[in-house]
Chains A and B, each alone.
Chain A
Amino acid sequence: MTPEQTMEPIAVETLLQRVQKMHEDGYRLVQIHATTLPDKLEITYSFDLDLRLASLRLHLPLEEPRLPSVSTIYGCAVLYENEMHDLFRVQVDGMTLDFKGNLYKTAVKFPFGSTKAPGVTCAAIAPAPTPKPAAGAAPVK
């Protein structure tokens, strides 16, 4: 189809550096989203430059996912990051505007965090029975 899309797996440690590079290259932040996979959390950052869509992807453990904030580089990222926090329980450190879980008013806390995955329930964070891969370790592909 039409859009030229690239998807590049990165590690959490290199996130800020890569996003900084994107910013310097003149990319516009299109969106950030998270997906709950059976065993991990997948975070995608999409950028656009002249209709080319470049995405960065990283993986986080389901248990206590933690991310550095890119809002110091892209100011508009705060909304996406707060959204990720409110819906997926991702702890984003250093947001320039932190709603502290009050961006969305949901009856259930963190509704999009997987209910199927062991050790993670909607309402509370229960300790997981099985150890999870470390943050950013070996993204798929």
Chain B
Amino acid sequence: MAFFQMTSLVMKWIFRKPVTSRYPFEPRVPLAGSRGKLVFTDGNCVYCTACAKKCPANALIVSRDKKTMEIDRLRCISCGYCVDVCPKKSFSLGEAHSSPVTTKSSELQIHKSGNEETGAPKAAEGNSTSAPK
């Protein structure tokens, strides 16, 4: 009977664990291979600006003279195009997604001459959220 099909579906699920999660208390863990927050590794980058030219969202601002890389987190669409084009493999996509922010700010990463690195994250969300789980 047609009526009991829905009933049986409902009855079956009434005794199961819910498939939903209690979101703010249990954050969703992204699956392996998810395209999350863009991670920039200082040190390799030669500031060739190839990534900034290719970025479809214009989220990267690279200054050749000042040796700075600016990532606009709110523009970045995590497409991974910069990961593909960078000759030095300076970028990778983390699995975790960037956290929500309340103000618009970009993240400036400064690379001093020599090989010492000073990652100076300006944005509130920091730079460490992108570690794979």
Direct contact of A and B (CB under 8 A): no
